[in-house]
Structure 1
Amino acid sequence: MQVRILGCSGGIGGDFRTTAMLADDDILIDGGTGVGDLSLEALARIDHIFVTHSHLDHIACIPLMIDSVARYRTKPITLYATAAVLRILQEHVFNWLVWPDFSRIPKEQTPFMRYQTVSVGQRVVLGERSITPIPAQHTVPAVGYHIDSGTASLVFTGDTTSQDALWEYINRIDNLRYLIIETAFSEQQQDIAVASKHLHPGLLAKELGKLKRPAEIYVTHLKPGDDDVIMSQVNQLAGQFVPRFLYNQQVFDF
C-alpha cells in the first residue's frame, strides 16, 4: 500500500497545502487544498473519501473535486464519516446553498456521491486494505484513521488534543509502522492551541509519552510561517521520540 501526502499544512500561501492524503490511487483521506494539485484523471480514479472532521482546511476541495469528475465516472464516490460529521456536511455544504447536493443528482437512485456512516473502531475493508476510524478530541466531532495494508499500519490522528483513548487504541496495533500526528501551534501560542483543541510541542511530548510501540513519527498541520519554530521546539521537547517534519508529496510504502 502507498500513501502520498498531498497537503500537510495548517494553512495556505505559496507552496503550502492543507490536509489531504492519497492512499494508492482510489482512496482519499481528507480533502484539503492539496487535492487540487492532482490531475483530472487522477481525481476521477478516487472512489472513496474518508473525512476526519468538517473544518474547511480538511474538506475544501471535496465539493469541487466531485463536481469536476462526476461526468467521467460510472459509479458514485463514497464519502465516509461519522454520523455527526456527515450531518454537518449535509446541512452546511451539500445543501444547494453552498454547493449542490450530489447525493441526489443527477438522480437520487444514481447519484454522483453517496454517504457512508462509520464509527470509531468500525473497520472498513477495501480489498486487502482496511481503514478504521480512531478516537480524536477536537472542537467539532472528529476522528483519526488507522490505515492497515495487511502488512503494516499507518495512523493519522487528524486534528486532536490530549486524550487517552487514542493511545489505548494505537498501543493495540501490532503492525504499527508510521504515526502522523498534528502539532498546530508553537509554545508561544499554546493558549490558542488549548482553546482550539490542537497540540503544541510541549503537549505533543506529553502525549507521545503514552506511546508504547515503536513507530516512525511525523508531525503535521503546522501553521505556515511558524513551521521552523514549531519543529525546533518539537525537537527540544520530544527529541527522545525523534519526530520528523511531514512534507508535501512525501510517500509512505507499507
Structure 2
Amino acid sequence: MKLRILGCSGGIGEGGHTTALLLDEDILIDAGTGVGQLGLNALLKIDHVFVTHSHLDHIAFIPFLVDTAGCQRVKPLTVHALPATLQCLKQHVFNGHIWPDFSIIPNARQPYMRYQPLVVGESIMLDGRKITPLPTHHVVPSIGYQLDSGQASLVFTGDTSAHEPLWEAINRIDNLRYLIIESAFSNAKRDIALHAKHLYPAMLADGLNKLRHDAEIYITHLRQDEADVTMREIIACVTRGHPRRLLSGHIFEF
C-alpha cells in the first residue's frame, strides 16, 4: 500500500489543505480540499471514498469529484461511511439544492455515485487491501480506519477525542507500523477542544500512554495559527515515541 497525504491541515490558507489521503491510486480516505491538488487523470482513477465523518473539511470535494469525473467513468464512485454520515450527505449535500443527487444521475440503474454503509469493526477487502473502520468519538458520528496491506498496518484516526474503545482496537493490531492521530488545539484551548471533541496535547499524551505498539506517530489536523505551539507542547508532554508533524506530500509505504 502507498498512502499519499493530499491535505492534513485544520484549515485553509498559506498552502494548507483540509483532510484528504490518497491510498494507491484508487481510494480516498476523506475528501477535503486536498483533493483539489489532483489532476483530471488522477481524479478519474478514484473508485472509492472512505469518509470518517460528515464535517465539511472532510467531505468538501466529494461533490466536485463526482461532478468532474462522473460522466467519464464506467462505474459509479462508491462512497463508504457510517449510515448516519451517508444520511447527512444525502439530506444536506446531494439533495438537489446544494448539489445534484448523483446517486440517481444520469439514472438510478447507472448512477455516477453509490453509497455503501459501514459497520465499525467489519473489514472491507479491495484487491487484497483490508480496510477496517475503527471506533472514534467526535461531535458527530465518526470513525477512523485501519489500512492493512497484510505486511503492515497504518491507522488514521480522523477527528476524535479521548475514546477507550479506539485504543483497545489499535492495541489489537499486531502489525501496526504508523499511527496518524489528530491534535486540533493547543493546551491553552483545552475548553474548546473538549467542547468540539478534539484532542489537545495533554489529552493526546494520556492516550498515547495506552499504546502498546512501537509505531511511528504523526500528528494531523493542526491549525495553522498555532501548529508550532501545539507541536512543541506535544513533544514536551508525550513520554513515548517521537511524534512528528504530518505534512501534505508525505508518503507512507507499507
Distance 1:171 1:214 in 2: 11
DSSP-derived class of the 2:231 partner: helix
How many correspondences in the alignment? Answer: 254
Give the corresponding residue for 1:146: 146
Deviation at 1:241, TM superposition (A): 2.1
Deviation at 1:44, TM superposition (A): 0.6
Query: Counterpart amino acid of 2:79?
Result: L
Show CA shifts across 1:37-96 (max 9, x none). 000110010000000000000001110111001111110000000111101111101101
Distance 1:63 1:109 in 2: 20
Distance 1:119 1:223 in 2: 30
Give the corresponding residue for 1:110: 110
DSSP-derived class of the 1:230 partner: helix
Alignment of 1:34-73 (within 5 A): 34-73=34-73
Please state if 1:202 is matched with 2:202: yes
Distance 2:187 2:169 in 1: 27
Distance 1:59 1:226 in 2: 24
Distance 1:236 1:169 in 2: 26
Give the corresponding residue for 2:231: 231
Alignment of 1:165-204 (within 5 A): 165-204=165-204
Query: Counterpart amino acid of 2:44?
Result: A
TM-score, normalising length: structure 2: 0.99
Please state if 1:247 is matched with 2:247: yes
TM-score, normalising length: structure 1: 0.99
Show CA shifts across 1:108-162 (max 9, x none). 0000000000110010100110111000000000000000011100000010000
Distance 1:84 1:60 in 2: 17
Distance 1:58 1:230 in 2: 21
Deviation at 1:237, TM superposition (A): 0.7
Deviation at 1:4, TM superposition (A): 0.2
DSSP-derived class of the 2:224 partner: coil
Is the Cα–Cα contact under 8 Å of residues 20 and 28 in structure 2 kept in the other structure?
A: yes
Give the corresponding residue for 2:92: 92
Detail structure 1 runs of 4+ shifted over 4 Å in the superposition: none
DSSP-derived class of the 1:241 partner: coil
Distance 2:123 2:240 in 1: 32
Distance 1:100 1:13 in 2: 28
Is the Cα–Cα contact under 8 Å of residues 103 and 111 in structure 2 kept in the other structure?
A: yes
Distance 1:180 1:45 in 2: 25
Distance 2:149 2:95 in 1: 35
Is the Cα–Cα contact under 8 Å of residues 81 and 118 in structure 2 kept in the other structure?
A: yes
RMSD: 0.6
Is the Cα–Cα contact under 8 Å of residues 120 and 133 in structure 2 kept in the other structure?
A: yes
Distance 2:197 2:151 in 1: 33
Distance 2:105 2:239 in 1: 51
Deviation at 1:173, TM superposition (A): 0.5
Give the corresponding residue for 2:25: 25
Unaligned runs of 5+ in 1: none
Further displaced range: 238-247 or 191-200: 238-247
Unaligned runs of 5+ in 2: none
Distance 2:163 2:35 in 1: 29
DSSP-derived class of the 1:74 partner: coil
Distance 2:160 2:75 in 1: 33
Deviation at 1:239, TM superposition (A): 4.3
Is the Cα–Cα contact under 8 Å of residues 208 and 240 in structure 2 kept in the other structure?
A: no
